[in-house]
């Protein structure tokens, strides 16, 4: 059971004080009594809920007692109810309230009215306490949130619905040093004027505010340590009306990772380029040996192995160079000319049949296959997909290739049976260094660098097309390429 509220009844008139105390006690309150201002100040403490205070006391004014109670840290939260039979005019009431009293009653007062007034004041006190507790909790949570955001290793910035910066943590300033412009109170328009490198970042913020959708991107910014690369995510927060009221932007410094990727890709490009010269010399030497004739059967076998391996290495080097071009921003070179996709597909299928005489590769073409494409690049696409289908399908099953000319586009499909591609691999199938293996046996088969499907997707994209895959146990696996006619 919670303890009863403590009320301090202050009045130098014994009879009046007794009546008031009796009424309050019968109503369930704990009542203490005082006859002077000095006694009041001595008795009141942090546990006192309410002081019923006569305005005129023998040693000091009740107004002064009220002022001191409100000024003391121990008693400032106690409620004060002035109760007077002498100071009853409007000016008296106004003066009492101005000195900090919470209510003012004129004696004699009806007991029921007194108790009702006390209950009302105590409800006010409880509400004030609850508000203070909630406020303290909110302030504590806000302090912890600001502390956590401030100490976060990654940059964090908060913008309001108009794009004005509200908050930026220490990592924002530390990441840019003297180039730092993210000062709270500045609008995004002002920031992009002060630092034009923020233009793409500012456009993402505008899109987040306008659409209410998460935005992601990359930006390169100057710092005291040189250019820094950041990946950022902007998360808008909408209010009850659906309007964006705030956007929080979080960033990650990916400079070291980006530099490592650039170095690796530059190294791959240089390596692939420099390997071609000794490989060409090896191939030419083997071809000359073949042309000379007079080779024993054993020598012919070795020479064929050299040429086959050289061709495979040439394909790998070509893939490495294509990968390096794509990842370094140059894109895969595409030289468009008038050609027939069906001729390209027929040539790739015939090559697959020749290199896999034991396998069945079926071909079906329909419609008009002519368009503006890079025939050599499309030959890579068809070759990669057919080779992939042969590699990851049962030896006794056929591989089906179809090409269809439609209005405005051509569609290529390569289908094979066998174990489906695991669903978790499908979203990453066209990433670099990934293979479409579906079992330990298949992964153990001779393979390439894991760049075939990546390069295929890049070639198709360079033509403005799309490549998709469906793979199920019942239907098998189908790669579908759609190419605009140019």
Q: Where are the domains of the chain?
A: 6-132, 152-253, 258-327, 337-484
By the 8 A CB rule, do 154 and 171 touch? yes
Closest CA to 120 of 136, 100, 105: 105
Rounded to two decimals, what is the model's pTM? Answer: 0.42
Tell me how far apart the alpha carbons of residues 93 and 80 are, in angstroms, rounded to a whole number. Answer: 13
- 363: three-class secondary structure by DSSP: strand
pLDDT for res 277: 65
**Residue 441, pLDDT score:** 36
The CATH code of domain 337-484 reads 3.30.565.10
- Cα separation, 215 vs 203, in Å, equals 10
Res 278: pLDDT: 74
pLDDT score, position 325: 62
Is residue 328 within 8 Å of 262, Cβ to Cβ?
yes
Ranges of the chain with pLDDT below 50: 437-446
What whole-number distance in Å separates Cα of residue 49 and Cα of residue 44? Answer: 9
In words, the CATH class of domain 152-253 is alpha beta
pLDDT at residue 137, as a whole number? 87
CA-wise closest residue to 312 among 347, 283, 288: 283
CATH superfamily, with its number, for domain 6-132: Response regulator (3.40.50.2300)
Burial (CB < 10 A; 0-12, 13-18, 19+), residue 414, is: buried
d(CA 201, CA 192): 9
Q: Give first-to-last CA distance, the chain, whole Å.
A: 84
Of 171, 156, 165, residue with least CA distance to 223: 171
Dihedral class, residue 227 (left if φ above 0, else alpha if ψ from -120 to 50, else beta):
beta
Instruction: Give the pLDDT of residue 207.
Output: 94
How many CB atoms sit inside 10 A of residue 126's CB? Answer: 12
Contact between 248 and 157 under an 8 Å Cβ cutoff? The reply is yes
């Amino acid at each position: 059971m919670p303890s009863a509220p403590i009320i301090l009844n202050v009045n130098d008139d014994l009879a009046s004080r007794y009546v008031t105390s009796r009424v309050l006690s019968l109503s369930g309150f704990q009542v203490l009594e005082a006859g002077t201002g000095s006694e009041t100040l001595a008795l009141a403490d942090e546990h006192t809920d309410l002081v019923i205070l006569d305005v005129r006391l023998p040693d000091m004014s009740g107004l002064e007692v009220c002022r001191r109670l409100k000024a003391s840290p121990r008693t400032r939260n106690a409620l004060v109810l002035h109760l007077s039979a002498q100071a009853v005019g409007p000016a008296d009431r106004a003066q009492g309230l101005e000195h900090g009293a919470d209510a003012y009653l004129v004696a004699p007062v009806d007991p029921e009215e007194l108790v009702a007034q006390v209950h009302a004041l105590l409800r006010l006190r409880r509400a004030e306490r609850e508000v203070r507790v909630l406020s303290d909790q909110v302030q504590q949570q806000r302090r912890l949130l600001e502390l956590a955001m401030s100490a976060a290793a990654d940059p964090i910035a908060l913008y309001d619905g108009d794009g004005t910066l509200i908050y930026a943590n220490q990592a924002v300033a530390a990441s840019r040093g003297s180039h730092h412009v993210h000062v709270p109170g500045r609008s995004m328009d002002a920031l992009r004027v002060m630092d034009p490198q923020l233009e793409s970042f500012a456009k993402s913020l505008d899109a987040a505010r306008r659409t209410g959708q998460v935005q992601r991107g990359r930006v390169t910014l100057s710092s005291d340590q040189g250019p820094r690369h950041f990946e950022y995510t902007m998360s808008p927060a909408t209010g009850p009306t659906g309007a964006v009221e705030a956007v929080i932007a979080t960033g990650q410094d990916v400079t070291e990772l980006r530099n490592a990727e650039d170095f690796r890709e530059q190294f791959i490009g240089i390596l692939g380029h420099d390997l071609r010269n000794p490989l060409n010399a090896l191939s030419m030497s083997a071809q000359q040996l073949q042309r000379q004739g007079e080779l024993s059967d054993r020598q012919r076998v070795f020479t064929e192995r050299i040429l086959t391996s050289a061709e495979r290495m040439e394909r790998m080097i070509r893939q490495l160079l294509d990968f390096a071009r794509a990842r370094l921003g140059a894109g895969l070179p595409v030289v468009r000319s008038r050609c027939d996709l069906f001729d390209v597909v027929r040539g790739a299928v015939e090559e697959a049949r020749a290199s896999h005489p034991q396998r069945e590769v079926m071909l079906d073409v329909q419609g008009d296959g002519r368009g503006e494409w890079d025939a050599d690049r499309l030959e890579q696409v068809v070759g990669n997909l057919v080779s992939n289908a042969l590699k990851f399908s049962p030896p006794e099953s056929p591989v089906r290739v179809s090409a269809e000319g439609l209005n405005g586009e051509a569609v290529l499909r390569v289908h094979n049976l066998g174990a489906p591609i695991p669903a978790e691999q499908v979203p990453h199938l066209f990433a670099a260094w990934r293979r479409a293996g579906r079992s330990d046996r298949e992964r153990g088969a001779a393979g390439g660098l894991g760049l075939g499907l990546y390069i295929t997707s890049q070639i198709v994209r360079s033509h403005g097309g799309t490549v998709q895959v469906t793979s199920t146990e019942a239907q098998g696996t189908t790669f579908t390429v759609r190419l605009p006619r140019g």
